[in-house]
Amino acid sequence: MAKAAPILDAQISLTDVLSPYYLHSSDQPNLFLVNTSLNGDNYPTWRRAITRALNAKKKLGFILGTITRPDGDTAAGLLWDRCCDMIMSWLLHSIDRSLAGSLLYCATPNDKWLELETRFQQSNRTKIFRLKRDLANLHQDQQSITEYYEKLKELWDELTSLQSIKSCTCGASKSLSELQESDRIYQFLMGLNESFGQLHSQILAIDPLPSTIDVMSYSIKKRPSV
C-alpha cells in the first residue's frame, strides 16, 4: 500500500529554518544570489553558482521541479506561491537585463529554469570547441610553472563542467577518469618549455603516473637552473 504524502504544516514551515518554505527576514526580492549576472556567455559557471546559492537556502527543489505545489491545502499552497515568487525574483536579479525580459512571464521557477537551460545549453558545443582550442594553444612561455598550471586547471575545470562523466557500477567511469587524468599530464608536460625535456622522461617512467598536481609540484622541484 502506497504511503501517503506528509501534510505540510504551513505555520511551522514559516519558522522552521530546516524547511524549504522558510524565508529569513534578509531574503528580499531584490537579493543578488551571485556576484556575476548571466550574460549568455557564462551560463555553465553561472548555473553552478546559482544552484549552490539556492541549495544553501534549501530552495533548489523549486527550480528543479522536485518541490511541487501542495494539493488540497490552501495555506500550504499560498506558502509555496510565496516562495516561488521570491525565487523567481532572485533569478531575474541574477540575469542581465537584456535577457530577463522574455523570462518575466514564466509561471514557476522550474519553468524559468528549463527555459534557461533550453536556451543556453545549445551553445555548449561552441564553448567546448573554444576551451579545447585554448588548451591546445596554451604553453608555459614566460609564465612560472604555477601560473601555467593554474591556467590549465581553470580550462580543465570549465571543460569538465560541460562534459561531466556520469557515474556507473561497471567501472567504465573510473577508467575514463583515469584516462582523463593521464591526458592532462601529457598536456601539462607538452606545454612546458623545452628546457624541461629531461623531466618528461623522468615523469613518464613513473608507474603508475602520479596526479597532475604531483607532476606540477615535481616540476617545480626539478626545474632547470637558469
Q: Is the per-residue pLDDT at 137 higher than 60? A: yes
pLDDT of residue 106: 87
**Which candidate, 130, 138, 28, places its Cα nearest to that of 89?**
28
pTM of the predicted model, to two decimals? 0.62
Q: What is the mean pLDDT of the chain?
A: 85
> What is the rounded average pLDDT of the residues 57-70?
92
Q: Is the per-residue pLDDT at 3 higher than 50? A: no
| Lowest-confidence region among 27-36, 94-103, 175-184 | 94-103
Cell of 119: 536556451
Nearby residues of 38 by Cβ (< 8 Å), 6 or more positions away: 46, 50, 94, 95, 96, 99, 116, 120
